[in-house]
Structure 1
């Protein structure tokens, strides 16, 4: 078309203007000009055609077509390269999205595990808090450093006071030391001790006897003091053990009460959920909700609005659209059933192990109980034997035989018990005995003398009764004995008299 128009224009022009046109200086490429005006007639005319093509216009049009096709091919190649680069970028973006989804899933799983762990920790913390709340009302005996230092000082003072008694030789040497030293002023310690040793050897038994008697008396006094202290220490140990047992029993009762209260509270709250138990699968509708929710949340919709929209969409959906969600729900249900089977198997194994362990513990407890029962039976047999022998002795005893009189302390304790029981109702026997013994020790010699005289009077009456009892038993024995034995006894008495 461009060539035909050019020919028409050249025919209409006058002959005077048929001069060679100068080529227009154009910095742009010819291909660009031809691409922009390939289908349109050029308004300028032949000015757009180069000088070489004016002589042969058909050849120039063909050349322009080739240039246009080449430029189009180049642009197509560029577009294809861009499309390929875009497709590669898309693949990379999809891969990155998949990786991000996988990381998000992992993080969600980690968060779930952390949540479960936190729940467990909270349960344990609550239990520990309950245990920490256990505040017993019993004052436990505690020994401080000051008490220990006091005990050490008291022990040292007792050791100084309660020195061992000296021997008879040392008592004599203390008296004779100054005399021997005055006789031998220049003598040393060894010489003086040698002189005293030789003198002690030369002493007779009668001269040594007073010192030996003094040593014996000191030893007896020392033994009494030491024995008294030992007995007091043993009594204090027994008392401390009894107090500890009482405190332990009180603590145990309080702890058991506290535990019962905690068990009641736990029952009220209900059973704790097992975190290892698999969660129930979602239905097809909820799967669709989870998929649709993020897009609706971006539109700033409320929870109620989202639920309404999703419900309407689900109702209007066809069976073909619902099919993928129903298949996914079916797969999750199958997986849940497998996990539940494994969970039930594990639970059954754990219960079986617990049952076996309990059976073993019961067997051990039964064995221990049988051993204790055997020990108890042995002790009961021994007690029965002792009681039987004691009964035989009692049966053999004579009922007419007078009983021994009580001591002065027993006479005092009978009266003191009455007064203490009236003043302190509900006091135990052990405390009563302790109070009576303390009062007896605090009595004066004059008060003790009264009780000793009463005991002596009862003892004299007992002696007279025993004399009468012995006479009666002898007379009865002589009557019961045969004549030969009576004659032999008379002969023995006659020999003793003569």
Structure 2
């Protein structure tokens, strides 16, 4: 049955293609394929086959008929010959076309088999390449892990090895080694090897008497005593260095503690200063707010004698010098105030005292009225 929905055929084709692809992915080659050259690989990648596509029946027929047409029309060009062949092909019967069609069919089948084989081989090669890549990656990883382990072992060995102190006194030689050192040069001069020298010296040492050994033993003892003294001095030096280092560290720690304490003190001071400044600012702000909230009917304090003088002097100076700066103006006023005679200054003082007397009377009256209002308010609150 034909599907009624549009695009059903295309969907079926897609499903078929997907199934083919899945089969190709599951394909596992059982034989190794020869590696292709670069050009051949490019051909395979591009989907080009080594074998050429077979020509259709018309082309096969044209090949057979070409020579005959050319004999009949020797002067005809390529285009004219092709036109003649095309016209003639139209008149060819189905029976005459049949052998060419069969020939084309067989060639096409062979070609398709080759193409399918090449496709399978290319897919197999891809899978092989992927497997090889994975194998090489695993090998490289194993090698890297081994290298890392060896490096870690080497590092551990290096850490475990203690560095020799060049200032440390060398251990003295024993009496036997002193004897061998003395005999070595003579024995080597006799063309004896190192092993032979050691054998000869050991035999000679065994056969020596206590009297013969005594000078070497005395020398060895002397060297050992010297070594012991040097070692004691070396150990003492090391201990002193360690104690000095500890002291330096302790002093450094003390200094660090002192610096830390100083920093803390500074921090506390700065915090206190900040706190005080904040409090002062808050107080000033509060005072300003209190002043704003103060009673508008309260009498204002009168100006002093200097302020009264400065107001008048300011007007006259500004009329004389309109471009004068405020700071210079204040300086001129203060100078003029200083230059005033006692009589003139007294006049200003009298004005200020009169204003002050008036202010005091106003304040007395205000205080009385304020007290009365407050008393009234308290009574109202009580009752």
Above 0.5 in TM-score? no
**TM-score (normalised: structure 2):** 0.32
- Select the structure with the greater relative contact order (CA < 8 A; seq sep ≥ 6): 2
**TM-score (normalised: structure 1):** 0.25
